Amino acid sequence: MIYHFSNAQSYAVHVVDERMAELSQWCSTIFDFGETAWREYESAAWYMTQLRKEGFSVEEGSGGMPTAFCAEWSNGGGPTVGLYAEYDGIPGNCQAADTKKRPRDGLGYSAGGHTDPHSGLGISTFGALLATKAAMEKYGLKGRLRYTGEPAEKVRGSKPIHAAKGYYDGLSAILSFHPFYMLPMCNTVRWDTHCGAAYSMIYRFICDEPENWGTSDGAPIPQAHSAVRAPGANDALVQMYQSSKLVRESMLPHQGGWSISEAILTAGQATADNLPAELGEIQYMMRVPALDMAEQITAVLDQNAQAAAIMTGCRVERHWVSKSRPGLPNHTMAGLVWDALSAIRAPEWGESAKVLVREIQSNLGIPPMEEPFIEEITSLISPKDAEALLRKDLPPSQKNSTSDDYTDMCWHAPTARLYIARPALKPAGSKAYPAWVMNAMGGIPELINPMIKTAAKTLALSALRVLEDQSLRNAAYAEFERRKEENGNIPPLCDYDPPVQFRWPEYVQTVRGRDWVIPSS
């Protein structure tokens, strides 16, 4: 198939090329911020400042989330295309953009860093947004652009909230992008098997009446340093952690891919004088194909939490972090984006990038390779071929696989999910590359720029085609309505406030400089 570029589309591709130096520098800026869930203050502020410079109106703190935003620009009445940025990283992944293992300057390895990397994800979509806007202005295309800032994606945080509060309503199409992270999802578009549901919650164990533990008449404790005391919140947290691990195999039937992981947010507040810890918090994240599976796991976790609280003299609270729905396919949108990607072609990495990778290999004691990258990152795979490979490992009854909260967007507008290759290295015998290598490559311009350029161009072409082709918009929307009906028209699940008040790790400024802490309040 020969792709026929409109004048606006050709110009958008040119704009991405012209602005690549800026996009590269901006990606490094977000990478160096390395902020994590619900605490992306510098990153969100940076995006909002740039968006205003580019002529967008910006709502700060959209959906009640301090580090979220919603930006809009209009060139007159017409269809509205949605894009979005993510910019949160992960604690414990503080890696410099370097060919050797080291944290970013002034920090330790336990601080936050970008893994996927969301730094490149956000700048890719931002580049597409700016190129689309420039083409609309130059060629008088009517329509609107909406660009949301999505914090806390790593805990599936913002999109269920934005969805419930209407930020995706009224869109003609949504373009979702993620750097390649698993084969065969590399330089392709998702077809039928979209990401699944995800629930995440925090259990808070609070020991605020330890004097009532083990007593029947409320009598005072006669010997404060040696008498029985309530085990307290630390013990509750340990009981919850261990009991949930113990019964994990019994939570769900042994079919359909699913996972559950936990993170301890707060523990260890026990003081001297034999006083029990007052507070312990543990977060759970489950990734499941279907909502009924999420509900089943939640029921088990709730029982475990209640039992742990009773055993340790605590009370327990459950607070939602995320409830995201499984995704819906849209073949019209997927085909549109695939046509654009086929015209742009796969990213390419030149000799300067290979030199840097060989340096990484040498620093790891691996003989440098003449061709160090896996072949898949420089080739395309059609959505149908990728779907066939993905389905090989899934039971026929399973509709969705893995999770990412873009799926909540699928219920509000026709949505496509694009994957573009990030750099990935060929195996070195039986020796696996350490995690810092992928993290570092996400921040080195020569290694991440090819992804940014390809993604930005593909998304800009796709956005402009949506704006220019009413028959395509009509087809995509008709399919969108049909898919919703076939899958039960699930409404937004978010019935909770943004969980920004918890003790999420963050950066602080002290007299010793910038530091990484778990805050005390």
Query: Would the pLDDT of 521 be above 50?
Result: no
Do 257 and 314 lie in a common domain? yes
Do 138 and 212 lie in a common domain? no
Please report, rounded to a whole number, the percentage of residues in the chain having pLDDT higher than 90: 81
Do 296 and 247 lie in a common domain? yes
Domain boundary, last residue among 274, 289, 324: 324
Do 187 and 333 lie in a common domain? yes
Q: Which domain holds residue 435?
A: 7-196+326-486
- Neighbouring CB atoms inside 10 A of 265's CB total 19
Give the per-residue pLDDT at 252: 76
Do 405 and 297 lie in a common domain? no
Do 31 and 152 lie in a common domain? yes
Pick the closest to residue 98 from 31, 165, 42 (CA basis). 31
| 226-275 residue pLDDT tens | 565 788 999 999 999 999 998 888 887 666 778 899 999 888 766 666 67
CATH of the domain at 11: 3.40.630.10
CATH of the domain at 305: 3.30.70.360
The confidence band for 328, taking pLDDT boundaries of 50, 70 and 90, is: very high
Give the per-residue pLDDT at 344: 98
450 located within any domain = yes
Domain boundary, last residue among 271, 302, 324: 324
Do 43 and 133 lie in a common domain? yes
DSSP-derived 3-state class of residue 368: coil
Do 49 and 150 lie in a common domain? yes
Do 377 and 466 lie in a common domain? yes
Sheet holding 80-86, edge to edge: 57-60, 69-74, 144-150, 80-86, 173-179, 415-420, 188-189
Query: Would the pLDDT of 221 be above 60?
Result: no
Do 389 and 422 lie in a common domain? yes
505 located within any domain = no
Q: How many CA atoms lie within 13 A of 68 on its CB side?
A: 25
Structural domains counted in the chain? 2
31 located within any domain = yes
Max Cα distance, the chain (Å): 87
Do 368 and 332 lie in a common domain? yes
Give the per-residue pLDDT at 518: 62
310 located within any domain = yes
Instruction: Based on DSSP, count helices (H) and strands (E) in the chain, helices before strands.
Output: 13, 15
Query: Would the pLDDT of 430 be above 50?
Result: yes
| pTM attached to this predicted model | 0.94
504 located within any domain = no
Looking up tokens 């309530």 gives 230
Query: Would the pLDDT of 175 be above 70?
Result: yes
Do 154 and 20 lie in a common domain? yes
